[in-house]
Amino acid sequence: MNPLLQKFDTAPFSQIKEEHYVPAIKELIDFTKKEIDAIADSSEAPTFENTVEALENTGMQLDRATSVFFNLNSAETNAEIQKIAQEVSPLLTNFKNDLLLNETLFKRVKTVYEQRNDLPLNGEQQMLLEKQYKGFARNGADLSEEKKDKLRALDTELAKLKLTFGENVLAETNAFEMHLTHEGDLAGLPSGAKEAAAQVAKEKGKEGWIITLDYPSYIPFMKYAENRELRKKLSLAFGSKAFQDNDRNNEKNVLRIANLRHERAQLLGYETHAHFILEERMAETPGNVEAFLNELLEKARPAAKKEFDELEAYAQKLDGIDELQKWDSAYYAEKLKQERFNLDDEKLKPYFKLENVIDGVFTVSEKLFGLQFEQDDTIDAYHEDVMTYKVKDSEGVLVSIFYADFHPRPGKRGGAWMTSYKPQQIKNGVNDRPHVSIVCNFTKPTESKPSLLTFNEVTTLFHEFGHALHGMLANTTYKGLSGTNVYWDFVELPSQVLENWCYEKETLELFAKHYETGELIPMEYVQKIKESATFHEGMQTLRQLSFGMLDMAWHGADPSTIENVKAFEEKAFAKTKLYPDTPRTCMSTAFSHIFQGGYSAGYYSYKWAEVLDADAFDYFKQEGIFNKKLATKFKETVLSKGGTIDPMELYVQFRGKKPNPDALLKRAGLI
């Protein structure tokens, strides 16, 4: 019996075998097609209920099965799962196109849409109708048959290319290891990082130490290792992922993806891919995004240049470095930061034991939103590292199921993300609660130490947990408008705003306790965390802007004349460049956010949402960071409403006014 074809509540991971995926997905596609045909071919006149709402309720089991599959392809993949992904992706793309290009169905939706002003619809129903209608209209429902066939071909190829892109990046990350056998090569490295490197070597059956491209291994080496040549070697390996002369090179994939996206946008009547994407964003147009990025660039560049010159002079004074290179940046910045603030990750890490930080984020959620987290090991998980919880409200009513997966392993892509295994919706009077997961790549425990987080990892955990709260506290009728189903440049508000709590004394006192002595983090450390929060903020801002500008360069103009990925990238980076170029490295070939994830023409949204989050947290600072009334207002206007109301309207409901960009610039110390 195929577990993916049975009705299930929590995902039955332990029962699912790889051979179950393809038959289940094929059968569920066929079943959903029948559901859709029944709506399209109905002899009844189209109404909101028999067309729009009915369509929203199709494909429930298919969504559940595919969410299990694609989440595992990101968090616990292997060669077999990757092969299945290449097989099922085109099937799902074709299915989606069959739906969006179904003329009969579109006619029914359009009929309801044209009557919308005369129908007794509430705000959420209007939003669902609008979203559904635009889904068809923006994705080719009005195209001729010939153009529809063209669109299908483009989408199928795109789906496969994005998978290949991601597989290449993961394979390149796993393929590299720097095997060190002389202890002197690890000079400067903290004991925890050395022990972790020894553990990796031991797991691989080798003597000595192994440094990899996984963040918990890569970052400490770049920050602390005194051996400049080895830092260079590691930096070049990291920067040349999928840019080497081998069969994992992504240059052709990048060019092809950019061109296919452009072709698709033109086919649908848009000037560029960015024009297509931004029509459904708060920013609205590429011009607005470019103006926004350039305005921030104008403010950040002088500060960044000053910080860079100061860092270069510091490296010259300390070690006679004539020209600061990319592999020097983290090393000398860390030294300068220690000198200036007498604070570094090694001093802080003992206070950030992973389990304590988890308790901390749970306590913050309880104080703000009244949530209780009960660990429940009876919930099936896909790997022994995954922690499972029941989340309840103050009355003991189930709010959500929560999965947390924290450590790197070969089958897991890099970075950190939030995802979902089951959406929230209200159906037949029952509020069906969501199943939410966060996936990170934090330092693993060693034989002598638990998992101790850097402060950066603490903020990452809070960030992803902010997304999780957006999913958990969802309270809408329709799954398509629930939780994180919001405009992409609004989705980062809940995640980024929660990071702010990490810097506050009141929060740190809840969980920042020494893992051996239980002693609370010294208050001078808390003060220094705050003071050092804007250290090199100019350079950090410039870096984020450079990624946003690269994204817009790829997607905001016709890419058909681009021949050389590296040369094109250099041109896009020109306004934000500080370091000498490294010819053997390339960002685009491993820029998974935009070529594999959902951030194409959307990377700017991190900065966009920072404006919202700085302004929103400013409000909390005024009222008290654990002010229950304000937290409830944030929950009711932002976290629970999903995409049922225009995001700017939601923001104004919460804040009482539109966001003020000065709050961000002030927080960053740029004004």
Catalytic residues: 464
d(C-alpha 460, C-alpha 456), whole Å: 6
Nearest Cα residue to 494 out of 285, 289, 650, 649: 650
What is the dihedral angle through the alpha carbons of 578, 583, 584, 587, rounded to the nearest 10 degrees? 50
Residue 14's region, left for phi above 0, alpha for psi from -120 to 50, else beta, is alpha
Amino acid at 5: L
d(C-alpha 372, C-alpha 157), whole Å: 45
SS in 3 state form for 306-347? HHHHHHHHHHHHHHCCCCCCHHHHHHHHHHHHHHHHCCCHHH
Residue 297's region, left for phi above 0, alpha for psi from -120 to 50, else beta, is alpha
CB 274 within 8 A of CB 555: yes
Residue 421's Cβ-side half-sphere holds a number of Cα atoms within 13 Å equal to: 27
What is the DSSP pairing of strand 398-405 with strand 435-439?
parallel
CB 620 within 8 A of CB 299: no
CB 123 within 8 A of CB 477: no
Residue 406's region, left for phi above 0, alpha for psi from -120 to 50, else beta, is alpha
State whether residue 63 is helix, strand or coil: helix
Amino acid at 319: D
d(C-alpha 327, C-alpha 124), whole Å: 51
The length of the chain in residues reads: 671
Amino acid at 125: Q
State whether residue 289 is helix, strand or coil: helix
- The sign of the CA dihedral 63, 68, 70, 71 is positive
State whether residue 95 is helix, strand or coil: helix
- Beta carbons within 10 angstroms of residue 527's beta carbon: 13
What residue has token string 């993300």? 417
Residue 208's Cβ-side half-sphere holds a number of Cα atoms within 13 Å equal to: 14
Q: What is the DSSP string of 624-665?
A: -TT-HHHHHHHIIIIITTTTSS-HHHHHHHHHSS---THHHH
d(C-alpha 439, C-alpha 576), whole Å: 31
